[in-house]
Amino acid sequence: MTFELARRLETLRSQGLYRHRLTLETPQTVNITVRGRSLLAFCSNDYLGLAARPEIADAFMDGLRRWGTGGGASHLVNGHFTPHHELETALARFTGRPRALLFGSGYAANVAVLSVFGGMATSVLQDRLNHASLLDGGLLSGTRMVRYLHNDPGSLETHLGRAGDAPLVVTDGVFSMDGDLARLPEIAALTRAHGGLLVVDDAHGFGVLGERGTGSVGHLGLDSDDVPVLVGTLGKSFGTSGAFVAGSEEVIETLIQFAHSYIYTTSTPPALACATLKALELLETADTERAHLSALISTFRTEAAGMGLGLMDSQTPIQPVLLGDNDRAVAASAFLEDQGLLVRAIRPPTVPRGTARLRITFSAAHTHDDLARLLCALKAAKDRGIL
Ligand X SMILES: *Cc1c(COP(=O)(O)O)cnc(C)c1O
Which residue numbers belong to the known binding site for substrate? 19, 131, 350
Binding of residue 201 to ligand X (CB under 6 A): yes
Of 102, 170, 243, 280, the one binding ligand X (CB under 6 A) is 243
Least Å distance, CB 358 to ligand X, is 17
Of 46, 88, 127, 172, the one binding ligand X (CB under 6 A) is 172
Nearest to 321 by CA among 338, 341, 343: 343
Q: Which of 75, 159, 204, 278 is catalytic?
A: 204
From the list 14-22, 200-208, 214-222, 338-346, the region that binds ligand X by CB under 6 A is 200-208
Binding of residue 137 to ligand X (CB under 6 A): no
C-beta of residue 351 within 8 angstroms of C-beta of residue 177:
yes
SS (H, E, C) the chain: CCCCHHHHHHHHHHCCCCCCCCCECCCCCCEEEECCEEEEECCCCCCCCCCCCHHHHHHHHHHHHHHCCCCCCECCCCCCCHHHHHHHHHHHHHHCCCEEEEECCHHHHHHHHHHHHHHHCCEEEEECCCCHHHHHHHHHHCCCEEEECCCCHHHHHHHHCCCCCCEEEEEECECCCCCCECCHHHHHHHHHHCCCEEEEECCCCCCCCCHHHCHHHHHCCCCCCCCCEEEEECCCCCCCCCEEEEECHHHHHHHHHHCHHHHCCECCCHHHHHHHHHHHHHHHCCHHHHHHHHHHHHHHHHHHHHCCCCECCCCCCEEEEEEECHHHHHHHHHHHHHCCEECCEECCCCCCCCCEEEEEECCCCCCHHHHHHHHHHHHHHHHCCCC
Q: By CB under 6 A, how many residues form the interface with ligand X? A: 14
Least Å distance, CB 103 to ligand X, is 8
Binding of residue 56 to ligand X (CB under 6 A): no
Catalytic, 236? Answer: yes
Least Å distance, CB 8 to ligand X, is 25
Q: Which of 44, 133, 176, 261 is catalytic?
A: 176
Binding of residue 233 to ligand X (CB under 6 A): yes
From the list 104-112, 136-144, 311-319, 326-334, the region that binds ligand X by CB under 6 A is 104-112
Catalytic, 368? Answer: no
Q: Which of 236, 278, 292, 366 is catalytic?
A: 236
Which is nearer to ligand X, 179 or 228 (by Cβ)?
179
Which is nearer to ligand X, 107 or 362 (by Cβ)?
107
Which is nearer to ligand X, 130 or 333 (by Cβ)?
130
Q: Which of residues 299-328 bind ligand X (CB under 6 A)?
A: none
Of 44, 95, 115, 176, the one binding ligand X (CB under 6 A) is 176
Give the C-alpha distances (Å, rounded to integers) separating 88 from 247, 300, 302.
Answer: 11, 37, 40
Of 63, 71, 106, 270, the one binding ligand X (CB under 6 A) is 106
Least Å distance, CB 31 to ligand X, is 23
Least Å distance, CB 339 to ligand X, is 27
Of 42, 47, 67, 107, the one binding ligand X (CB under 6 A) is 107
Nearest to 283 by CA among 359, 369, 218: 218
Binding of residue 46 to ligand X (CB under 6 A): no
Least Å distance, CB 155 to ligand X, is 20
Interaction site with ligand X (CB under 6 A):
105-107, 110, 131, 133, 172, 176, 201, 203-204, 233, 235, 243
Residues labelled as active-site residues: 176, 204, 236
